Structure 1
Amino acid sequence: MDHGRPKPDLIIFDCDGVLVDSELLSCRCLSEVLAEFGLQLSVEQALELFLGRSTKAIEQYYRDLLGQALPDDFLARLRARVLETFAEALQPIPGAGAVLSKLQTPRCVASSSDLDRVSLSLDVTGLAPHFGDRLYTAQMVRHGKPAPDLFLHAAGRMQADPARTLVIEDSVSGVQAARAAGMMVWGFVGGAHYRARDGRAILSAAGADRVFAHMSDFWEA
């Protein structure tokens, strides 16, 4: 598992699209809730614009680029829709549990999603025991991905050297954030949102040190 670098002292997992197959579900929810407010955004556009980004990025996009403030209750309605959908339909990424069960290296989660969403995602899919309270989210830092803040915060809390930290990410913004933090990063393209997109090319171009599509290939040197 060295890929030209020393064995990491810490592995940081993104949650959505890496541990749980949630990206299509959450983008569908975003598209539907925006439509309720008369705003049109396809699932494909949502993936292109907001994959790996926080809800703050959604608000910023509409405010700064489109000059349109989202309604006051938008985020609350989106959050409720996502949590309801996840509770009913969310599935783990195949093989994620097996990788985590075998993993000896300290690990944590660093996600752009809110803490309650991450907690629900891991609970619903049975992955929560692998992480305990080692969950870090964009709410805890000033700047979300692609800034390095979240990954540096997670490494700091885990008392790990960024240079000896490995990040597993599925988004361009996440790969960029890991690179900016001085960490090694592997791109994962096994989520349903990459079935119609060339994720390998996308994440390689973003700077991933390695890209893989199946959790069974996690240990491949």
Structure 2
Amino acid sequence: MSAFELVVFDLDGVLVDSEIIACGCLRETLERHGVSLTLNEIFEHFLGRGFSVVEEDYRRRTGAPLPAGFAAELNTLLLSRYKTALRVMPDAIRLLNGLRAPRCIASSSTPERIRLSLGLTKLAPFFGANVFDTTMVARGKPAPDIFLLAAERMGVPPARTLVLEDSVSGVLAGKAAGMTVWGFIGGGHYTGRNAGGMLAEAGADRIVERMADLLPQLSEAVPP
């Protein structure tokens, strides 16, 4: 296996087990505003994608823009749930402590939600300023923009970059950027679902079920 010079982590559903919380909050908020979706439908339509997709989907379903205050209502609910329920993915800290390669985050979340997640879980020191979000680029995932920006800012060619992603849109984005992508399916939102099959079909080069499994695999793939 070729050695990688940069590891790019998605945040939600990879480093923190947040997608089951966030998607549940989105479902509740949409329900209050007249759109009823199952949790699986929320996963299918919105997992790994930015808030603009929620706006577009709501307009398509209702013929109207999102109600004023929708984003603030959702964020208030998220803040409350995150403070009590957000957890670091098992073994993520051990992985980051042992990782020799440079690392960064490339996330579809808002800057505010990223800061909240990293602060609550004490992950911020592992990344410093090397955190990239879709407000920094023209197009969100599944477009490759955020991954290309991350590689450029970190000074590593895309071909020498490994992406860890949990969503179909994220896998598609990483592959479109010319990077190797490993699909991670250890989050609570994938319990009982054929996550490995979905991510492999999207182009993931390898499927990883647990953070603990990444430790030996990254030792093989990352140069000393």
Shorter-chain TM band = over 0.9
- Deviation string 1:113-165 (CA, Å, 9 cap, x unpaired) is 00111111111112111111211011111100000001111111111111111
Q: Which moved more, 1:19-28 or 1:60-69?
A: 60-69
Residue matched to 2:91? 95
Deviation at 1:65, TM superposition (A): 5.8
1:24-43 equivalences in 2 (<5 Å): 24-43=20-39
Which of 113, 117, 132 is 1:121 aligned to? 117
Is the 1:15–1:109 contact (alpha carbons within 8 Å) kept by the matching residues of 2?
A: yes
Which of 68, 72, 78 is 2:74 aligned to? 78
- Structure 2 Cα separation of the partners of residues 63 and 160 of structure 1: 39
> SS in structure 1 opposite 2:192?
coil
Q: Which amino acid aligns with 2:10?
A: D
% same residue? 48
Q: How many pairs are equivalent?
A: 217
Which of 118, 134, 141 is 1:138 aligned to? 134
> SS in structure 1 opposite 2:109?
coil
> SS in structure 2 opposite 1:196?
coil
- Structure 2 Cα separation of the partners of residues 214 and 43 of structure 1: 23
Q: Which moved more, 1:155-164 or 1:57-66?
A: 57-66
Q: Which amino acid aligns with 2:207?
A: V
Residue matched to 2:206? 210
- Structure 2 Cα separation of the partners of residues 197 and 63 of structure 1: 28
Gaps of 5+ in 1: none
Q: 1:141 to 1:114 in 2, by over 3 A?
A: same
Q: 1:65 to 1:35 in 2, by over 3 A?
A: closer
Residue matched to 1:61? 57
Is the 1:115–1:135 contact (alpha carbons within 8 Å) kept by the matching residues of 2?
A: no
Is 2:118 aligned against 1:147?
Answer: no
- Structure 1 Cα separation of the partners of residues 209 and 188 of structure 2: 11
1:179-190 equivalences in 2 (<5 Å): 179-190=175-186
> SS in structure 2 opposite 1:71?
coil
Residue matched to 1:49? 45
Q: 1:66 to 1:162 in 2, by over 3 A?
A: farther
> SS in structure 2 opposite 1:132?
coil
Residue matched to 1:166? 162
Is 2:109 aligned against 1:109?
Answer: no
Is the 1:14–1:168 contact (alpha carbons within 8 Å) kept by the matching residues of 2?
A: yes
Q: Which amino acid aligns with 2:142?
A: P
Q: Which amino acid aligns with 2:38?
A: S
